[in-house]
Amino acid sequence: MRPGRLVFVSFWLWIGALAGCSRAPLHHQESFVFGTRVEVWIAGVSEAQARPAAAAVLHEFDRLHRTYHAWKPSELTVLNDALAAGQRSVVSAEMAALIGNAQRLSQASEQLFDPGIGWLIRLWGFQADEINAQLPDPDLLAEWQGGRAGIADLRIDAGRVASGASARLALDFGGYLKGVALDRAAEILREHGVRDALINIGGNVIALGRKNGQRWRVGIQHPRAAGPLAIVELDDGEAIGTSGDYQRYFEFAGKRYCHVLDPRSGHPPMHTQALTVLIPPGAEAGTLSDVLSKPLFIAGDDWPRLARRLAVAAVLKVDASGGVQVTAALQQRLEFVGGKPKALAIVP
């Protein structure tokens, strides 16, 4: 095999270009957290009120990032080290709640969402700031496939976490924590008296209220071109999230390997370029926007059935050939940039 070519593309919804033309100034703060660009847009309040509110959100993002980092020293790595050694570990009430909720969501997704495959993610080289373009050791991959462990194997008892599975079980909240952070951000902003805002964490977005009386407009990134594939307006409390093969990936011998891994096979899916879900308002809207795009991305042609099982009505998928499939519930809200795609299928 010839050497691979490393590709790393940061991802964000096209909020900045769509946030202009407002009747009053928008307050905007941004940072780099969770390995991606994060932004907070606030409308409808003074600069003096908006600035500390946005700062509190970014402070919470930084705390969550440091607490649950998967490969730099953190509370999560302490737990993973204990699990690798076959030991129980005392965890905080917050971490116990996160694990318990992730187990519930994993079961609902038929284990296609599984934060317990951190060992596999590391084997593929995605637990790194810079990704090396190389395939995993085939013997180690076969070993993992032969004794696959996941988050369902964790037991929580009085704040202690233990595993009944192999030492190959490790937690990685990379496909979960951004959504949790969105919900936390919404809570923090409301506590600061902010009712109109948009929070973006690398393309996972939640909308609060409106932008000077108008719905917040965001663009869904085209997976193979610069700029958005489509634009959608979000209602108060709605969240949108996308999983794609263009965010963290590498190319090797002419094939693209993305960071979204199928827990069944241990390999990245090759059948999907991007999958977007729009989640209605609710206490977990942000969390669900981050989590539920993953199992639907992995599910391939079976995604409509799984979407119904997960009660996700608004889905847009771009398959490996660039064909677009969209549910009727989302299609009527989309404005495709440059006209409708040539290969467009509406899914009931």
Q: Is 105 part of a structural domain of the chain?
A: yes
Q: What is the enclosing helix (H) or strand (E) of 208? A: strand 204-208
Question: What per-residue confidence (pLDDT) applies to 148?
Answer: 87
CATH code for the domain in which residue 139 is found: 1.10.3980.10
Say whether both 130 and 151 belong to one domain: yes
Exposure of 258 in the CB half-sphere (CA atoms within 13 A): 20
Say whether both 215 and 334 belong to one domain: yes
CB-based contacts of 18: which residues, under 8 Å, 6+ apart?
A: 217, 218, 219, 231
CATH code for the domain in which residue 283 is found: 3.10.520.10
The pTM (predicted TM-score) of the whole model is 0.93
CB-based contacts of 155: which residues, under 8 Å, 6+ apart?
A: 161, 162, 163, 164
The pLDDT tens digits for 136-158 are 999 999 999 998 899 999 999 99
pLDDT reading at 191 higher than 60: yes
Q: Is 61 part of a structural domain of the chain?
A: yes
Say whether both 35 and 86 belong to one domain: no
- The residue behind tokens 């190959």 is 168
- DSSP output for 289-341: HHHTHHHHHHHGGGHHHHHHHTT--EEEEEETTS-EEEEHHHHTTEEETTSS-
Say whether both 288 and 230 belong to one domain: yes
Say whether both 29 and 61 belong to one domain: yes
Question: What per-residue confidence (pLDDT) applies to 10?
Answer: 33
Q: How many helices (H) and strands (E) does the chain have?
A: 11, 18
- The residue behind tokens 């964490």 is 201
Q: Which of 147, 163, 179 is the last residue of a domain?
A: 163
Question: How far is residue 274's CA from residue 325's CA, in Å, rounded to a whole number?
Answer: 11
Say whether both 156 and 198 belong to one domain: no
Q: Is 279 part of a structural domain of the chain?
A: yes
Beta bridge partner(s), residue 279? 239
The region that residue 298 occupies, defined by phi over 0 for left and psi between -120 and 50 for alpha, beta otherwise, is alpha
Number of domains the chain is built from: 2
Q: Is 172 part of a structural domain of the chain?
A: no
The pLDDT tens digits for 251-289 are 999 999 999 999 999 999 999 999 999 999 999 999 999
CB-based contacts of 221: which residues, under 8 Å, 6+ apart?
A: 11, 12, 13, 14, 203, 227, 228, 229, 242, 244, 246, 274
Question: What per-residue confidence (pLDDT) applies to 37?
Answer: 94
The CA angle 250-222-279, to the nearest 5 degrees, is 105
Strands 344-347 and 324-327: parallel
Say whether both 241 and 343 belong to one domain: yes
Say whether both 204 and 320 belong to one domain: yes
| Residue-number span of the structural domain to which 130 is assigned | 75-163
The pLDDT tens digits for 60-110 are 999 999 999 999 999 999 999 999 999 999 999 999 999 999 999 999 999
Q: Is 169 part of a structural domain of the chain?
A: no
Q: Is 187 part of a structural domain of the chain?
A: no
Say whether both 55 and 98 belong to one domain: no
The pLDDT tens digits for 200-245 are 999 999 999 999 999 999 999 999 999 999 999 999 999 999 999 9
Say whether both 205 and 155 belong to one domain: no
pLDDT reading at 331 higher than 60: yes
Confidence of residue 15 (pLDDT cuts 50, 70, 90): low
Q: Is 171 part of a structural domain of the chain?
A: no
Say whether both 241 and 136 belong to one domain: no
Here the tokens at position 244 are: 């794609």
Sign of CA dihedral 88, 91, 95, 98: positive
Q: Would you give the distance in Å from CA 204 to the centre of its chain?
A: 6
Q: What is the enclosing helix (H) or strand (E) of 257? A: strand 255-258
Question: What per-residue confidence (pLDDT) applies to 12?
Answer: 44
Confidence of residue 14 (pLDDT cuts 50, 70, 90): low
Say whether both 228 and 329 belong to one domain: yes
Question: How far is residue 252's CA from residue 258's CA, in Å, rounded to a whole number?
Answer: 11
Could you tell me the strand order of the sheet in which 89-90 lies? 89-90, 160-163, 154-157
Q: Is 119 part of a structural domain of the chain?
A: yes
